[in-house]
Structure 1
């Protein structure tokens, strides 16, 4: 897997790109959380869930279906909890949360380790990697993510996640009028 830092950075960047005005920052944070959330499946290891099972790591929780269901559920919840507020348009917010969640599997499919990502679970259990896999796989667990392993992963993510996110952000600042980006 990519680290939580890389996933969150990409989710927040998608938030900034799709909902660029500064008052939308809470949605950027929600997108960052959605981008990290699929890795909650690692709790299964504590309960003996096999890595390659439907409920295992990079299984159902990393699927396109779960990303769509999560995005739809969060959009509906946002409408229930903030009926008087003016949240972003449902379609745009849904797209953001879907892309942020599905980006998790995309980054994981670009890593150098693991069993691949079950993008089409539960309909198909095949796990996939992309042909180009430049991101160093992150160790599972906070205790293992330290020292040389952490440095190796973070350096890789700085290049393959951080730089593209920065370029997208700078490109948005250049291409969009200052009024859309929020003054200051």
Structure 2
């Protein structure tokens, strides 16, 4: 898995690429949480649930169904706060993309058992055909040479491409001009 920090890269990049105010701070926070939440399944280790189990690490919480459930909660939350259909759909899509980015990034790592994208219809664990991101060590070894190598790998294969995409997007779609008003 990429480090928990790097899972926040996708919602942050989407926020940076969006027009100012398009993604409100609470929705950004929901997206960051949705992008990180699948790794709460590491608690399965403490509960003695095997890694390869459907509810083990990179199992059910890393499925597209899980991303859909988080998106539905976001839509419900947004619908209760702002009953406009557009904002509700925007919240659901944003949270779905953020949550789905987690297993897709994990599938691009160099280790582990893959991700259960199709759970509950299949317990098969998937990997991307291209796996350039170093797998992150768990907490005790994170602040080690291997942890540093992982962070450098994530910088190269996640943060820099996303930053480049945001800059390119901003160059192609500049912010709307604010009318000038004389003082």
Q: TM-score, normalised by structure 2?
A: 0.89
Q: Which residue of 1 is the match for residue 98 of structure 2?
A: 100
Structure 1 unpaired stretches of 5+:
none
Question: How far off is 1:87 after superposition?
Answer: 9.3
Q: TM-score, normalised by structure 1?
A: 0.88
Correspondence 1:27-66 to 2 at 5 A: 27-66=27-66
Find the aligned partners of 2:57 and 2:66 in 1 and give their Cα distance.
14
Runs ≥4 residues deviating over 6 A: none
Q: Give yes or no for the alignment of 1:174 onto 2:171.
A: yes
Question: How far off is 1:134 after superposition?
Answer: 0.2
Q: Which residue of 2 is the match for residue 116 of structure 1?
A: 114
1:4 is paired with a residue whose SS is coil
Question: How far off is 1:114 after superposition?
Answer: 0.3
Question: How far off is 1:3 after superposition?
Answer: 0.5
Q: Give yes or no for the alignment of 1:146 onto 2:132.
A: no
Cα deviation code 1:91-116 (max 9, x no counterpart): 22211110110100000000000000
Find the aligned partners of 2:109 and 2:170 in 1 and give their Cα distance.
29
Find the aligned partners of 1:63 and 1:16 in 2 and give their Cα distance.
26
Q: Give yes or no for the alignment of 1:21 onto 2:20.
A: yes
- Which has the larger Rg? 2
Find the aligned partners of 1:97 and 1:112 in 2 and give their Cα distance.
26
Q: Which residue of 2 is the match for residue 89 of structure 1?
A: 87
Cα deviation code 1:147-170 (max 9, x no counterpart): 212211110000100111101210
Cα deviation code 1:71-91 (max 9, x no counterpart): 1112201222x248x796222
Supply the RMSD in Å over aligned alpha carbons: 2.1
Find the aligned partners of 1:178 and 1:163 in 2 and give their Cα distance.
22
Structure 2 unpaired stretches of 5+:
178-183
Find the aligned partners of 1:68 and 1:173 in 2 and give their Cα distance.
29
Find the aligned partners of 1:173 and 1:45 in 2 and give their Cα distance.
43
Q: Is the 8 A contact 2:82 2:88 kept in 1?
A: no
Question: How far off is 1:49 after superposition?
Answer: 0.5
| Aligned positions, number | 177
Find the aligned partners of 2:170 and 2:112 in 1 and give their Cα distance.
36
